[in-house]
Amino acid sequence: MSIWGTFFYFIYVFIIINQVFAYKPRMIYVEGGDFTLGIIGKEISQTVKINNYQISAFEITVGEYQLFTRETGCSMPPEPKWGWKKDHPIVNVTYDEALAYCQWLSEKNTSFFRLPTEAEWEYAARGGKKSKNYKFSGANNPSRVAWFRVNSGNRTHAVGKKKANELGLYDMSGNAWEWCLDWYKEYHADRRDEMINLDKVAGKIVRGGAADRLSSYSKVTKRLACYRNCRSAFNGFRVVEVTE
């Protein structure tokens, strides 16, 4: 084989190996900026500065999580009563299991993956700089964008079946609660950073509402706390990619 033949052979092998071993979810670029976190007039709201980042268009699915477990030897979480469906959001994952998935994803790529901070999550759910100030992520009518108690049959549904928000993100309202990186704490007026990082608070933040809850829980401002070892048939997650 000639030198050029050898060169192109190794290029071909590199491309094949990269296709086999590299993997990441579909990501959406979010241009950063300043925005008001929280409900003005009902809670203390804060102006928070957000850097540029990318966030997964969909909640991490069962199929994506199964790939992680096959490659790492980690176990699948307990199966929900409706069974595992590859295009549904993975649920029953603890906070630390979601972190482990992010670490695995980082090792498969050249960039760093993690859970979104609460501020990143809400900024993306609102539509970032394209926001139209909807109550839910992508609409004022929850039925257009969310699976919740009235329309879900009290189970999750395949991701991406409802309308996307202004950024092209799906299921930020409803379907499954989504773990955030932060510890839960009540909003406070002097907050200026993206992340709450305290170790003596109620638990980790979950956002977005879920298929077993009333639609009001799917509003972009709704926030709850979950202990990091909590397993719920309606707790899932999506990921952020940091490239800058």
Has residue 7 been placed in a domain?
Answer: no
Per-residue pLDDT in tens (0 to 9) along the chain, 244 residues: 566 555 444 444 343 344 445 789 999 999 999 988 887 555 557 789 999 999 999 999 999 999 999 999 999 999 999 999 999 999 999 999 999 999 999 999 989 999 999 999 999 999 999 999 999 999 999 999 999 999 999 999 999 999 999 999 999 999 999 999 999 876 544 444 444 444 445 699 999 999 999 999 999 999 999 999 999 999 999 999 997 6
Domain-embedded: residue 22? no
Q: Answer whether residue 17 is part of any domain.
A: no
Query: What pTM, to 2 d.p., does this model score?
Result: 0.85
**Residue of 169, 41, 39, 25 whose CA lies nearest to 101:** 25
Please give the pLDDT value at position 15: 39
Please check whether residue 37 lies inside any domain of the structure.
Answer: yes
Q: Is residue 84 within 8 Å of 51, Cβ to Cβ? A: no
Residue 197 covered by a domain: yes
pLDDT of residue 206: 97
pLDDT at 36: 87
pLDDT at 101: 99
Q: How many domains does the chain have?
A: 1
CATH number at residue 104: 3.90.1580.10
The answer to whether position 6 is within a domain reads no
> Which pLDDT belongs to residue 47?
84
Q: Which residues form the domain of 104?
A: 30-242
Does 77 reside within a domain? Answer: yes
